[in-house]
Amino acid sequence: MAVDHDMIVKVLVAQRGKLLAYILSLVQDLHVAEELYQTVLMRALKDSGSVDGPDHLMNWARVVARNIAVDHLRSTGRRAVLLDPDVLNLLESTWRTKDDDADVERTEALRDCLDALSPQARQLIELRYAQDMSMSDVAARIDRPLNSVYVSMSRIYRRLSECIEGKLQPRRANG
């Protein structure tokens, strides 16, 4: 069964959390991962004739995502942080079967909670994760003692965790 454009959009948007997490695990940059996700979506719409059903679409999308992520890393001169291909293949069956509604909700809650952080806390998260800096590099960049950065990050993690759980709790009670 060939997949039409509506089905492609429906499946790839529903599976956005999984696909975005997969791309993010490869490129280690949320903004780049978002752009590459959009590229996968556009390529799927363009190449819809080569996709045969929703399951095949997701398998195809992961392969395309992996390829464009590696191409991006190569073109920017960054080193790929890739899992061994055998590990990726073992995870494939889990990715195929796991329902990602909870993942999407958790990702949306995380995004909301990150937006609610103070500018200083967002800066620490940005330096640590988006710029892939070590904790000692973060401390040096903001000219604070390393222990102080560890304490601040611990507080940020706790705040994010509480915020995410607070956002998910009402959904669980209603679901």
Question: pLDDT per residue over 58-106, tens digit each?
Answer: 888 888 998 898 889 888 887 655 555 555 555 555 555 554 555 667 7
Q: What pTM was computed for the model?
A: 0.49
Mean pLDDT value across residues 160-168: 84
Contact 3, 80 (CB under 8 A): no
Q: How far apart are CA 126 and CA 138, in angstroms?
A: 10
Chain position carrying tokens 């709790």: 169
Q: What is the dihedral of CA 129, 108, 15, 95, to 10 degrees?
A: 60
3-state secondary structure of 114: helix
3-state secondary structure of 105: helix
For 43-53, the pLDDT digits (tens) are 888 876 767 77
53 φ, ψ to 5°? 95, 160
Count of beta carbons in the 10 Å neighbourhood of residue 172? 10
3-state secondary structure of 132: coil
